[in-house]
Amino acid sequence: MTGSTSVPQEARDERAPMVVAVDGPAGSGKSSVCRESARRLGFGYLDTGAAYRAITWFAIDSGCDLDDATAVAALLPSFVELYSISQSPDERWVRVGETDVSEFIRDTAISGDVWRVSRVPAAREALTALFRRTMAATTSPGIIAEGRDITTVVAADAPARILMTADEAVRIARRTGEKAGEAVAAVAASVSARDARDAKVTNFTEAAYGVTVLDTTTLDFEQSVEEFLRIVASATPGPHQTTAPSLAAAPSAVRHDNTKESR
């Protein structure tokens, strides 16, 4: 990856939206907690993974060989021009041009092929730039962006950076609940395979320097949201401080990683 890892300088002034960067593996509660937290804060919500799914759909629909990095790269300018996504936590639509691909990109076939596109350096660079522009241009007072390299690449200088995690057994149980009709073994294999593939591209299981770890293993949904909002509030003195609940700290769930990076 080349270039700056920060939001463009012209967007970072006193009127710039607050960025909350969130990473984590499947089943950590990342998407649901981020959506609800954005709703309560009045922030926008950006699902960066949807863009990788959408470019995968676009490539397949265009007849592109996903193993041909040059061919994938050639599609990027058109895709970036056509791609749009809702930033409202209450809406879930993704479009490529006039086509609503919200359901298409959740198909298991797309899920199984996303890694083939996300491993292409040109794709990651183009989408990273797209995410930064999207965050800087939001009309909300802040935006919560979640994915797998948001705290380390896309928004490495965000005032609030959170790594959400949970024990593997808990994550698999949650994913099984989301995917009615699928056997636990099948979901476990899918989660493990996806995490293993993505780990070859970016480290989303270990907190980088300055990133706060939110372990949701023993937390229910409401507790997870409260912890998330507390982290955001502690990172944001001023107007956003009052938007998060004023609750006692729960050190067993939250850890601040301020040790030097080993990577």
The answer to the question of whether 25 is labelled as a binding residue is yes
Q: Has residue 244 got a pLDDT over 50?
A: no
Q: Is residue 249 domain-resident? A: no
The answer to the question of whether 142 is labelled as a binding residue is no
Report pLDDT digits (tens) over 157-207: 999 999 999 998 888 887 776 554 456 666 566 666 666 666 555 665 677
pLDDT of residue 92: 93
The answer to the question of whether 239 is labelled as a binding residue is no
The answer to the question of whether 260 is labelled as a binding residue is no
- Domain range for 94 is 18-231
Q: Is residue 7 domain-resident? A: no
Burial zone of 2 (CB within 10 Å; 0-12 exposed, 13-18 middle, 19+ buried): exposed
Please provide the distance, in angstroms rounded to a whole number, between the alpha carbons at the two ends of the chain: 15
Percent pLDDT > 90 in the chain is 63
Percent pLDDT > 70 in the chain is 73
Q: Is residue 248 domain-resident? A: no
Hey, is 145 helix, strand or coil?
strand
Distance CA 239, CA 102 (A): 34
Report pLDDT digits (tens) over 83-121: 999 999 999 999 999 999 999 999 989 988 999 999 999
Q: Is residue 5 domain-resident? A: no
DSSP states along 192-222: HHHHHHHHTT---SSPPTTPEEEE-TT--HH
pLDDT of residue 193: 63
Which residue, among 26, 23, 13, has the nearest Cα to 193 in the 3D structure?
26
Task: Assign 7 a pLDDT band (cuts: 50, 70, 90).
Answer: very low
Report pLDDT digits (tens) over 118-150: 999 999 999 999 999 999 999 999 999 999 999
Q: Is residue 97 domain-resident? A: yes
Hey, is 96 helix, strand or coil?
strand
Q: Is residue 238 domain-resident? A: no
Distance CA 154, CA 178 (A): 28
Task: Assign 209 a pLDDT band (cuts: 50, 70, 90).
Answer: confident
127: domain CATH number? 3.40.50.300
Contact 174, 29 (CB under 8 A): yes
pLDDT of residue 262: 34
pLDDT of residue 238: 54
pLDDT of residue 108: 87
pLDDT of residue 14: 56
The answer to the question of whether 3 is labelled as a binding residue is no
Q: Is residue 112 domain-resident? A: yes
Q: Has residue 47 got a pLDDT over 90?
A: yes
The answer to the question of whether 77 is labelled as a binding residue is no
Q: Is residue 164 domain-resident? A: yes
Q: What is the mean pLDDT of the chain?
A: 83
The answer to the question of whether 63 is labelled as a binding residue is no
Task: Assign 11 a pLDDT band (cuts: 50, 70, 90).
Answer: very low
Beta strands (DSSP E) in the chain are 18-23, 44-47, 83-85, 94-96, 99-100, 142-147, 160-165, 212-215, 254-256
What's the full length of the chain, in residues?
A: 263
β-strands 18-23, 254-256: how paired?
A: unpaired
User: Domain tally for the chain?
Assistant: 1
